Amino acid sequence: MFEQPTAAFREGFPQDTAAGRIPFDKMGTIVIFGATGDLAGRKLIPAIYNLWEAGYLPPEVNVVGVARREKSDDDYRTDMCEELKKHSRTGHGGDDACNPFVSNLFYHRVNFAENADLTSLAQRLTEIEDERETPHNRLFYLATGPEFFAPLVQRLGEAGLVYGPNDSNWSRVVIEKPFGNDLESARQLNQAITRVLTEEQIYRIDHYLGKETVQNIFAFRFGNAIFEPLFNQKYVDHVQITVAETLGVEGRGEFYDATGALHDVVQNHALQLLCLAAMEPPVEFRAKDIRDEKLKALRSIHLPNTKEPSEWLVRGQYAEGFGEPGYLSEEEVDPNSETETFVALRLSVDNWRWAGVPFFIRSGKRLKKRLTEIAIQFRKPPLQYFKKLGVDAPEANELVFRIQPKEAISLSFNAKPPGMDFQIRPVNMDFRYGRTFREDLPDAYERLLLDALRGDSTLFTRADEIEVAWQIVNSIRDAWQGLPPPELYRPRSWGPASADRMFDCCQGHWRTPEDEDEWRSP
Ligand code: BG6
């Protein structure tokens, strides 16, 4: 039913690694555990397809889906064609485009919930690779529930699916989030998987690190000489990190109710963004050096030393509104739940560069806008020259990394509008991805999958980073033991009103960009 790529196609594939391509002999079979799940259909298969279509992967790329349901290869191929039609970023994946690609897909049933061993999978992989004359390298992607991470890694080892450092082939394991649900469980998971794998074989995913705009923070900070000297306590008043979503829990009530905004987004995405904004320049632009610097930034984080945690920590829960249920009425959510769907907090990065600069983080669901950004708020000018002219004090300069949507970097400064009187008004210098590069941004999973296949772990989190992030989050949780239950907030707002109290200590207020275009020139 499904066409095979022809040998001529393979022979025509360039064997160099220019422009990030993976040559045929370096490629590995991609094995997805949890192959019938949402992540595989919505993100992973479309990402592999887009990489393949763009020529980053050789024409014969083996993708083996592993899950518990009974299914034939052809059933799986048909299902994935449907997913591609719905989710491929390039808008392709219709039947014609889908056909040669999905013939690379295979399905293998394993009931890993019952700890079935993986010997049959090992045999199947060898058969597929031998038959298609492809290398025996393997990338295992664990897109399953977190309870299967440690047992699956153990079973991979037992089935002989993990190569040693002296083997000529490679095996790597990508582990989805959540990586643990507190410090202790993250440590246990790290211990369990490192009994089987070396750190170099482990790729812990935080999909935020694969976003183009997040990677561009490196380019912006360390590829320009003019901004980096300003990134410190002498010039920066405070930093605001926002990860706001308009969606609610979207059918993930059970997972979310056991997780909450602090664990779901702050422990990983928000703290990773903070690291990239706050870290020192790495010795070299390679995985170890970058991760060392991120780790140092994380280790410098401290929570405010006050008796009253509500001065720096606010939790909220979305109420009913706009025809949509409140959090407590969502399916599979405990109607008395105290899980937070919004969290805002202030912390400090106590190192030479950032001492005394507050870092504010907020994240929540059902907020006014889908918006992820890092805003660096600079200090105000030291003298108020224009006050005598009756001119309002100029606004502080602001540098905003708009991670999504409408990806951009914007710098605001003050200017005099034309006219016979003297006024001052903030204006913006903007760089917009869409306008400058005029190409569709790749999905984060495309970049991360390609990096894992290439063996580049720069954009994945290391064991020690994850553990320090959990330490911070554990301390935040300890601090909120004394707080009242989360405060209700109106959907399509910027969260509970009490989040504003956090600025009592400092200048400024939460940014509330009303309209994406308002804060940037047309
Ligand atoms: C995930 C969280 O890690 O990130 C989700 O589990 C959240 O709750 C999602 O919606 C946000 O990712 P993105 O890429 O849509 O900003």
Per-residue pLDDT of the chain (522 residues; tens, 9 = 90+): 545 544 444 455 555 555 678 888 889 999 999 999 999 999 999 999 999 988 899 988 999 999 999 999 999 999 999 999 888 887 655 556 577 889 999 999 998 877 778 999 999 999 999 999 999 999 999 999 999 999 999 999 999 999 998 899 999 999 999 999 999 999 999 999 999 999 999 999 999 999 999 999 999 999 999 999 999 999 999 999 999 999 999 889 999 999 999 999 999 999 999 999 999 999 999 999 999 999 999 999 999 988 889 999 999 999 999 999 999 999 999 999 999 999 999 999 999 999 999 999 999 999 999 999 999 999 998 888 888 778 887 889 999 999 999 899 999 999 999 999 888 899 999 999 888 987 788 999 999 999 999 999 999 999 999 999 999 999 999 999 878 999 999 999 999 999 998 888 888 899 987 654 444 443
The secondary structure of 345-372 as a DSSP string is EEEEE-STTTTT-EEEEEEESSBSS-EE
**Helices and strands in the chain, H and E counts:** 16, 16
What pLDDT score does 473 carry?
Answer: 97
Closest Cα to atom 6, ligand 1: which residue?
264
Pocket test for ligand 1, best of 249, 269, 333 (most atoms within 8 A of CB): 269
> Which residues have CB under 8 Å from 267's CB, separation 6+?
469, 470, 472, 473
Q: Whose CA is closest to atom 2 on ligand 1?
A: 264
> Which residue among 245, 266, 369 is best mutated to probe the pocket of ligand 1, counting the most ligand atoms within 8 A of its Cβ?
245
Q: List, in order, residues 6 or more apart from 137 with CB less than 8 Å away.
A: 26, 27, 28, 29, 169, 170, 171
d(CA 466, CA 180): 9
* Atom of ligand 1 at shortest range from CA of 268: 3
Instruction: Quote the Cα angle for 282-458-220, to 5°.
Output: 55
Q: 269 C-alpha vs ligand 1 centroid, how far in Å?
A: 8
Cβ distance 232 to 361 under 8 Å? no
Q: Is 269 a catalytic residue?
A: yes
Ligand 1, pocket residues at CB < 6 Å: 177, 245, 264-265, 372
| Nearest atom of ligand 1 to the alpha carbon of 255 | 6
Whose structure tokens read 């170890």?
Answer: 288
Residue 144, CA distances (Å) to 71, 153, 180, 251, 270 in order: 18, 12, 13, 17, 23
Q: 174: closest CA among 191, 192, 197?
A: 197
The answer to whether the beta carbons of residues 158 and 197 sit under 8 Å apart is no
Residue with CA closest to ligand 1 atom 9 = 265
Measured CA to CA, the distance from residue 6 to residue 334 in angstroms comes to 54
Residue 271, phi then psi, degrees to nearest 5? -70, -30
**pTM of the entire structure?**
0.92
Domains of the chain: 7-205 (3.40.50.720), 211-443+467-519 (3.30.360.10)
Report the separation in Å between the CA atom of 402 and the middle of ligand 1, taken as the mean of its atom positions: 16
State in Å: Cα 245 to ligand 1 middle: 8
Question: What ligand 1 atom has the least distance to the C-alpha of 259?
Answer: 6
Alpha helices in 54-117 (DSSP H): 73-87, 95-102
Q: Of the listed 207, 238, 263, 269, which one is catalytic?
A: 269
State which ligand 1 atom lies nearest to the alpha carbon of 206. 3
